[in-house]
Amino acid sequence: MEQALKSVQKATQNIDAEIFVVDNDSADKSVELVKEKFSDIILIDNKENLGFSKANNQAIHQAKGEYVLLLNPDTIVEEDTFEKCIEFMDTHPDAGGLGVKMVDGKGEFLPESKRGLPTPWVAFYKISGLSALFPKSKTFGKYHLGYLDKKKTHEIDVLSGAFMFMRKEALDKVGVLDEDYFMYGEDIDLSYRIIQGGYKNYYYPHTRIIHYKGESTKKTSVNYVFIFYGAMKKFAKKHFSPKKAGLFNVLINIAIYSKAVLDIIKNLLRDVRGSLVSGGLIWACMYFITKYWESHYKPENSHFPLQYFTIILPIYVLVWLATNYYSGGNDKPLKFFKIIRGAIIGVLVIAAVSNFIDMYRYSKALIILGGIVSIVVLSLKQIITYYLTHKSLSFGKEKENKIAIIGTKTEYDRVIRLLISLHLNVKSLGYISAEDINDSDKNYLGSLHQIDEIINIHQIDEIIFCSKDIDTQTVISTMMSLSSKFISFKITPDNSDYIIGSDSRNHPGDLYAIEIKLNISKNSNLRNKRTLDILSSILFLLTFPISTWFVKQKTMYLSNSLSVLLGSQSWVGFSEYKDLSLPKLKKGVISPTTELPNNRNNIQIKKQLDFLYAKNYQVIDDIKLIFKFFPLLGGTSK
């Protein structure tokens, strides 16, 4: 938000404007930040979370301007964005709303910059994934209007809630945001009413903003699909005929459950593809070894039965993969003794079990050879993966990011001090000036127009822009020109202790901060936590007709079970007041603080309980919490 407000202040220097910040009872010191650094901004400090619509409406009702802009806090606008928007609206009196070109933290175009009306079939194509498969199709691509040139101005149906530039006269005529929507759908509803009121909505590409989250990860989850459907159901009931709304519901239900099944398959394949390759190689090696053993060491005309190759050997392979996983053989940094330990444990497990089942008892020598093969295959896989990622074989060492800073020498020195204080594993190569200068400083790499050459020479991994020395328009242009080079981008505002960025629209903005190494950060505990999530989700889904009777919110219980299985949520996470210093975890359905009421008096208590949960974590803690709060696994009433 600090970055967003500073960019807004720069963009309103030549405009008679008022800036509102509406805080929905946040616990991240946003209110204190505004009071301390932006005292001239109008702050509305709510004591509860009123939702997106009500909060924005509070500011809209107070606004005196000819135009109203709703802007997300995870955005950065160009210095002339508002001037260009006003000029367009002034010269297009039929325009009721305007959206602009949005790019993510990597400089890539965000398709939600222009959207079509989610009629039953359009919404079906969107949720089922057909719009993603055929983005430029005039039939399937209507949700994001992928067939329209993103470089040209177009009439569109729906404005993005991240940037809704609207004529106040239009809002006075059609009304403000519908407060029946808490989150999602309200931007679609208002955009549609603007058109119904006789105005047009436009997509305007001649100014740009950075939108860090964009279509964020949570929007690809099954849980989001259910929430999105709920909002679309309200929209259909409000604006469509009963017949059309009924068709909408049927199509969306088909799309939701089709997407859920496809996502489960896709995510499972993504999670196990490395293991499938390793397992296939181990099986193939063992097949040839067994055939060699058969021809040289077995009596003549004595062969291993078909079930050995089709059942027994695959079971052996699964055991070696499982023991390698739980031994930490896949962990980073790579430690070969963990792979060897996993293979030995696998050999012992297979030998011990086969001793008790005579019909499955085969040569112990082959089992030992299989253990050796698994060590070789799994080690080679890790070595090749490491080399392809790091272009070196310096095992045990975390890759050092090579960073270049774009700004003046003064800002370069400030950012370096900040990076050093955070103990990050980065190597600063120097700074790049936004202007052509003659500088003999050893840390000077060159000027901005030479950036392609500088990146190639120094093999730069990450660029940090100093917004004090470089305007947002240049930042976005540079990001977009380098978007194909696999470089990360971050921005630091002037006089700020934060460096913020995002590698893609599928990841929220990253914040450079110190992460405390707590018990929950251990790879073994994270592995056990994920295993519990998978097993418990499968159990809950298999027993759904029975277990659902013990849960309060039954529909969301099914949604949460799917989301946890797919890995977009965890059953147990931190509270909504999680301290930034704690490690990142998936959003939890419940938390150690679930039973505590949501009020300001409990904020510090919740933070302390989160810290204790992270510090002393054992997987049994999650099991206890799941049993304790089982009725709330469909979500709380909050």
Close Cβ partners of 393 (under 8 Å, ≥ 6 residues apart):
383, 386, 387
Degrees to nearest 5, angle at CA 620 with 618 and 625: 110
Q: Give 191: exposed, middle or buried? Use CB within 10 Å, 0-12, 13-18, 19+.
A: buried
Q: What is the mean pLDDT of residues 238-266?
A: 71
Contact 216, 88 (CB under 8 A): no
What is the average pLDDT value for the chain, to the nearest integer?
83
Residue 235 tokens read as: 């929209």
| CB atoms inside a 10 Å sphere around CB 45 | 14
Is the pLDDT assigned to residue 397 strictly greater than 60? no
Least confident of 219-223, 317-321, 360-364, 378-382: 219-223
8-12, 406-410, 555-559: which has the highest mean pLDDT? 8-12
486-495, 576-585, 620-629: which is most confident: 620-629
Q: Is omega for the bond preceding 597 within 30 degrees of 0, making it cis? A: no
Query: Using one digit for the tens of pLDDT, what is the confidence trace for 126-143?
Result: 777 788 889 889 889 888
Quick one: pLDDT band at residue 166, thresholds 50, 70, 90?
very high
Q: What is the pLDDT of residues 328-350, one digit of tens each?
A: 888 777 788 888 988 999 888 88
Give the C-alpha separation, 502 to 495, whole Å: 21
Cα diameter, the chain: 96
C-alpha distances (whole Å) from 610 to each of 555, 572, 582, 606 are 28, 11, 8, 6
pLDDT-based confidence at 155, cuts 50/70/90?
A: very high
pLDDT, position 393: 64
For residue 460, the model assigns a pLDDT of: 87
Cα separation, 294 vs 308, in Å, equals 12
Q: Assess whether pLDDT exceeds 50 at residue 514.
A: no
Tokens of 229: 């459907």
**Residue 66: DSSP 8-state:** S
User: What pLDDT does 519 receive?
Assistant: 83
- The torsion angles phi and psi of 158, rounded to 5 degrees, stand at -125, 130
% of the chain with per-residue pLDDT over 70: 84
Please tell me which residue, 602 or 510, carries the higher pLDDT value: 602
Could you give the C-alpha distances from 407 to 3, 116, 210, 303, 457, in angstroms and in order? 16, 40, 19, 73, 19
Q: What is the pLDDT of residue 170?
A: 95
Who wins on pLDDT, 459 or 598?
A: 459
Half-sphere exposure of 555 (CA within 13 A, CB side): 9
Q: Which residue has the higher pLDDT, 68 or 261?
A: 68
| Residue 508's pLDDT band (cuts 50, 70, 90) | very low
- 472 pLDDT more than 50: yes
The reported pTM is 0.64
Residue type (1 letter), 344: I
User: Given this model, what pLDDT does residue 507 score?
Assistant: 41
98 strand-pairing partners: 165, 202
**Distances, alpha carbon 105 to alpha carbons 223, 232, 473, in Å:** 25, 28, 14
Run of H or E residues at 234:
helix 222-239
Q: For residues 544-557, give the mean pLDDT.
A: 86
Give the residue-averaged pLDDT of 618-631.
91
| DSSP single-letter state for residue 184 | S
Q: Which domains does the chain have, with CATH numbers?
A: 2-104+150-209 (3.90.550.10), 269-390 (no CATH), 401-511 (3.40.50.720), 519-632 (no CATH)
Is it the case that residue 232 has pLDDT exceeding 80?
no
Task: Using the predicted structure, report yes or no on whether residue 505 has a pLDDT greater than 70.
Answer: no
Cα angle at 502 between 496 and 506, to 5 degrees? 150
Asked if the model's pLDDT at residue 72 lies above 60, the reply is yes
Which pLDDT belongs to residue 11? 94
